[in-house]
Structures are given as structure tokens and as C-alpha cells.
A and B are shown apart, each in its own frame.
Chain A
Amino acid sequence: MTQHLDRRHFLGLAGVTASAAALAACGGPSTSGTPVASEAAELDFSGVKPAAKIDFWSNHPGKSQDVEKAIIEKFHAKFPDIRVNLVTAGANYEEIAQKFQTSQAAKSGLPGVVVLSDVWWFRYFTNGSIIPVDALVKQLDIKLDDFRKSLVDDYKYKDKQWALPYGRSTPLFYYNKDHFQAAGLPDRAPKTWQEFGEWAPKLKASSGAQYAYIYPALAGYAGWTLQNNLWGWGGSWSKEWEITCDSPESIEALQWAQDSIYKNGWAGVSSKEAADDFSAGLTSSTISSTGSLLGVLKSAPFNVGVGFLPGGPKAETNVCPTGGAGLGIPSGITKEEQLAAGTFLKFMTEPENSAAFSAATGYMPTRESADMKAVLAQTPQIQTAVDQLAVTRVQDNARVFLPGADQELAKAAAAILTQQADVKSTMTSLKKTLEGIYEKDVKPKLG
């Protein structure tokens, strides 16, 4: 048989190749039906044998890599048939989420257990990326009622438990005791921001620090800590699904924050990490996660004090949000892997391991029965974080349940706190954006 290879044939060959590529491109997501968060059929693990190996994806919150390794070694000793491979899946919650979402899209390489933050687990739920752990709780006899209620309830939705608390934190008020003493101030955190407003000029005058207070970096989790200011003034980012960031109370709270920087001149905004700025002596006080506690105590060359978050003119208490990360199990892995993951999840959150994790990082113990005596003897400041748990408040839906909202809050906060933008118009614009996200990305998926 003889053939010609002219341009026609060559183009034909190229066409076949391109068509094959085009056909291959038609993979990806299914386009039949509207994506609605699945109700997740009842899972039953009876008769299932746990897998021999699973991955645990963590960003090692609070520099916890060593303690995570130690707990995994203990797990291997107790369950020699299940190997857990600790994977550094990102430097922060966002990077780990990026890797997890990409693996979901690729439908391969998923871990057995994944660290999921307060703003990501709901997204995984709406995408059907994680399973409810109720069946595993029942089968493996996980003592759900021994978890601190406010922490475990954060992962409840539609009467199902979607994750268990792990590296859980609240913001804390950190202050430089030496600066406070030099300014003649009491050795405690201020009860309200108004009280701190009176202290701040004295602090700035006597301390030599650049700021009396520094707002946490906006590129981090501005929306998280600013809830404290909003709630103190009677405002909020949202009430349930109604966006309220433009309410008079919210605007008044943010106006006060802007004034502390531009009008009164005693506050600044951190560029990277407020806890580092505080440790470096740049500021006399700040708000940062409990997860930063041990790092600050180690690195600060001065006496560090911690206290509850200050209240505001409308609310002096219950003005502190919870935060941090939990552990979830992907839906896209085998039942054997899910059971092995459940076994590891149970072990990782046992009271003694919760106490060990807390001792190593400063994150809060998630179990009521965790023996914290030794930990508190070494780091008594952790007690403040534990005590503050009793006066925490569930975060606003707008921050934790709207995809990308945290970033929009950070942008709005940046406009107000670093460019002196008009607070009211910024919040009006933010409300429109957040409502758009809810209508497009959340409402249709809630069914």
C-alpha cells in the first residue's frame, strides 16, 4: 500500500491529534444537574477492614510538626496495622485548602485526614468533599460529649457532625507588661476599647514603641479579629444570612478603629504578623491567636501579659470569636481508608493527645477531660485562653460560610485602615459584594 504525505494528510493527522485532545478535554466535572450540597447517604462501616496506610495532610498549625510526629508514633505503637504518613500540605490553611481542592478536582491523591479551617470546612460540605463523621463516632465510640461544646458544635450542620476540633484557638489580647508598668497602667488587659483609648496616649508617650496597639495583618485574617470590634459596638458582618456590615453600629465600630490610626495616631496595622511585631517591641499590645502564645513567650525579650479581648460600648463580654482548625475525612477515598482515618481521628483528639498538642502550641485543649495541670504549670497563660472560651461567640456566617468573603473583608478593612477610605461607602460596597457571593455561591447549593 502506498500513501502520500502532503499538506492535506499532515493537516488530517494534526486534526486527529487535536480532536483526540479535545475529546480528552471533555473530562472534568459532570454537567448534568445543579450542584447542590449532597445529603450524604448514611455511611455504614460494619464489616469494613481499615486500610493499611493513609496520609494526614497538615499545615502544622502553631509549629506543631514535632508534636504531630510524636502523636503519630504513639498511634503506630497502638495500631501497628495502620501507617499514617504526615504530609506538609501547605504553609497555612489557605494553601492546604488549595491542595485539597485541586486533588478533589483531579480525583486523585486525596489524604485520609485533612486539616480544615473555620472558613473552609463549610465549602467542603457544600462541594460534598467531606463525609459526616457520625457513623465513625458511633462505630469507634468517639466521646463526642467530652469535646468542648462550643468547639465541636462549630462543625455541626443539618444535624450532622462534619469534622472534629483540632488546633482550635481564640484571639487573645497580648500586652507588654513592662510598657504598661512604665505608663502607670494596671497589669491587665483593658475591659473595653474605650478604656484602652484612654490608656493608649500614655502608653505611646512612655514606651518608646512605635504604636500603643497594632491591628493584625489584613492579608491574614482581618475579618476574624475585627469581629471583636464590631460585636463590642453592637454590629456584625452578618446576622444569619443577612449582611449587616453596613449597619450604623458596624460603621461606628470601624470608624473608631480608623480614628485610632489616623485621628488619634496611637495605632498601626501590621504588615505581616502582629505577634512578631509585638515580640519585636514594635507595639505595646496587639490581638493575636492563642496559637501564637508559645512563640511569643519564647521570642519576646520582655514580660508578656495576656487577657480577654476588650469589649465595646454596647457589649463588654461575649465579644471573642472562636477560630482555628478541625480535622475532616474526604468523601473521595475508599471506606477502608475512611475507617482508618476515623481511627486516627479518634486517637489524635484523645484527651492526652489534645493536652500534648496544646502544651506544644498554645492552642486550646479540645477535650474537657484533658489533664492540663502540667501544661498550665509550665505556661499559665494558656488558662486565660481556656477561661475565655466560656465567653466566646459563634462567628458571623458572612465570614465563615461565604466563599472568598474573608478576602473581601480583608480588602475592605485595608481600604479603611490603610487608605483612610470612607467607612460607610466601603461597607455599602462590601455588603453588595457579600450578598452577591451568597446569592451565587451559597444559596443555590443549600437546596
Chain B
Amino acid sequence: MTRQLAPHPSTKPTKPGPAAAPKRRRWTQRTRRDFFVFLALALPNLVLIAVFTYRPLVSNIYYSTLDWTLGSPSATVVGINNYVTFFTSDDASKVLGTTAIFTVVTVGGSMILGLLIALALNAKVRGTTFARSAVFAPYVLSGVGVGLVWLFIFDPGYGVLAWLLRGIGQQSPQWINDPQLSLVMVILVYVWKNLGYCAVVYLAGLQSLPQDVMEAASLDGANGFRRFITMSLPLLSPTTFFLLITSLLSSLQAFDLIRIMTPLGTGTSTLIYEAYLQAFGAFNRAGYSAAISVILFAILLVITVFQLRFVERKVHYS
């Protein structure tokens, strides 16, 4: 089926000429002018998107078929070998596992803690304005600065945490050197930094809930917990859905904290960080890194499509 540009409402229909196809009308002067206006407005953006988004995307897919050392003027075409190498190496399970743990815990942690904080902030007591600002502040701080400060806090030699632990006769864990603890450390800081965003968005959601319905439920004898489970939570589902998409996407692309707190990615090498390390770290395997980036792109695409097709159906918009 061919769809035509809708004519402007004020445009009078013209008589079809003898040569005109029955379903394709010739452009009027008005629609032609509209088309040029459309081009003038949209083309610069389309060109920018094509050059700075789609061109690198296509380039990246092309590079993923090469055995290319970054900086080398030549490369060898290897087809899907980089993908095969990734999925058959020990790295794949480690990197995908780390990505899954990091994503699930940071998204889940930020959303659950954010919701709890939003409920607390929604209470009509003094000091909530200050508390709201304080909770949101870490979100707007630079990830690099946050990472550096928390590194000092976690330092097992002279960090604040080590000092507190020594006060109760305990040695500090090796947060930075032990790969498993490194992941815990980065997750804790990431959740701390991002839960303010979830809290503020949830708070906005809570404040827009229909108060008459909530009061009616209260009059019917529903207690606070029951009102939350059976009414607030379902009515908050559009907020939850929005946060789920945005948090998942940003968590899968988290970079700054990992880069600053664990430069070698020991224990914290998520897909995006592994792609960085392979190309720009010690290995300079640009083709292999491009393949990992394509895998990440595919995962993000699948998650987004899945969420839009299936999860959104469960959302109550009213």
C-alpha cells in the first residue's frame, strides 16, 4: 500500500488529469512548498544523525569483521571470527556474567531503594525539601569525582572505611585488589549515585496519584501497606516502566565509575568496559572490540524491543 502525504486541510482538491494515476496525485504548489520546508528543517538533523550516529554504527559493524590492531594501517578481513572468538573464549562467560550481575543489581537496587526513599520523601513532614535535594545531589555529580572520592573511602590502607573497621578491631577487605569485592564496591557506588534519580521520578509519580481514589480506599479500611501494594504500585507502573528502560540502558552503558575505580577492569569488566579495554587498553584489538560493541548493541536492541512489545502491555496508564 502506498501512503500519500496528507494534503493541507485548506488545500482544495484538484481535478485529476488524464495522465494521473488514480491513487497518486500530483503535488500542488502548496505540498511542494511544504516538502521543501520539511527538507530545510529535517535534513540538517538527518544528515547529522547519519554522519554521527549511523555512520559510526555501520563503520563499527564493518570493523567487527576485521583483525585490526588499533594504530596499524592494515588489517585482515576475518568475517565472523571475532564473534566466534568472543563466544568461545573464557572471557564471554565472565564478561556476560559480570554485565548481568552489574545490570540487575544496580537497576534493581536503584529502583527499589529509590522507591523506598520516594515513599519517605512523600510524607508530609518538615525537611523533605532538603532531603529531596540531598538524595538527588549525587546524581548530578561528575562520575569521575565520585569515583575518586569513593576510592579514598574504600582504600584498605588509609580509607575512612578501613579506619572505622580498625576501630572495631577488624581489617579492611581488599576492595580494590580483590576482583569480587571490586565489583561489589563499584555496584555500591553506582547505586548510591543513581538512586536519587529513581527517588525523584518515583516521588513525582507518587504525587500525581489520584488522591480521591486513595482516600476512598482508606475509608474502605485498606491499611497503608495494602493501599501501596494494590493501588499505588499498579498506578505507578508507567513510572516503573520508564525507569526500567532508562536505568537498564544507562546501567548497560556505565563507564566512568568503572574506569576510575578499577582501571584494569579486574572483576568489573562489563561488555562496554571490555570493548574499551580491548581497543584502547593494553591489547589494541580494534576489530575484536568492535564485535563486542555490536553484541552490546544487539542486546540493547532486544531489551528495548522486548520492553516496548511485552512489558508495556502490563502498564496501567490510568
Contact = CB atoms under 8 A, between A and B. Distances in A.
Interface of A: 2-8, 17-18, 20-22, 24-35, 94, 98, 100-102, 104-105, 119, 123-124, 126-129, 210, 217-219, 268-272, 277, 280, 282, 403-407, 410-411, 414, 417-419, 441
Contacts of A210: 157
Contacts of B66: 28-29, 31
A6 B73 contact: no
Contacts of A410: 264, 266
27 contacts: A2-B26, A2-B27, A6-B5, A7-B2, A17-B46, A17-B54, A21-B54, A25-B59, A29-B73, A30-B75, A31-B76, A35-B69, A98-B280, A102-B71, A104-B71, A124-B71, A126-B69, A127-B73, A269-B177, A271-B175, A271-B177, A280-B157, A282-B157, A404-B283, A411-B266, A414-B178, A441-B283
A271 B281 contact: no
Report the contact-size class of chain B (Cβ under 8 Å from the partner).
35 or more
Contacts of A101: 70-71, 280, 284
Given A29-B75, A123-B284, A127-B71, A271 B174 contact: yes
B24 A4 contact: yes
Contact of A29 (B61, B74, B151, B176): B74
Contacts of A414: 177-179, 266
Contacts of B3: 6-7
B58 interface: yes
B28 to A, nearest CB: 9
Given A129-B72, A277-B157, 15 more contacts: A25-B59, A27-B59, A28-B62, A29-B75, A34-B76, A35-B73, A123-B71, A124-B71, A218-B266, A219-B264, A269-B177, A270-B157, A271-B156, A280-B158, A403-B284
Contacts of B27: 2-5
B76 A127 contact: no
Contact of B35 (A5, A17, A411, A418): A5
B282 A404 contact: yes
Interface in B256-278: 262-264, 266
Given A29-B74, A35-B72, A419-B179, A102 B157 contact: no
The prevalent SS among residues of B at the interface is: loop
A102 B74 contact: no
Interface string B64-107: 00101111111111000000000000000000000000000000
A223 to B, nearest CB: 11
A404 B281 contact: yes
B75 A218 contact: no
Interface in B145-182: 151, 155-158, 174-180
A271 B54 contact: no
B91 to A, nearest CB: 11
Contacts of B156: 271
Interface of B: 2-5, 24, 26-27, 31-32, 35, 46-47, 50-51, 54-55, 58-59, 61-63, 66, 68-77, 151, 155-158, 174-180, 262-264, 266, 280-284, 286
Contacts of A8: 2
Contact of A105 (B55, B70, B155): B70
Contacts of B32: 2-3
A419 B178 contact: yes
Contact of A411 (B31, B54, B264): B264
Given A21-B51, A272-B151, A127 B4 contact: no
A13 to B, nearest CB: 9
Contacts of B284: 101, 123, 403-404
> Which A-B residue pairs are the 4 nearest by beta carbons?
A104-B71, A25-B59, A101-B71, A404-B282
B157 A25 contact: no
Contacts of A31: 66, 74-77
Contacts of A417: 177
Contact of A102 (B151, B280, B281): B280
A285 B52 CA distance: 52
A186 B155 CA distance: 32
B2 A6 contact: yes
Contacts of A418: 174, 177-178
Nearest to A332: B73
B145 to A, nearest CB: 15
Contacts of B73: 29-30, 35, 104, 127-128
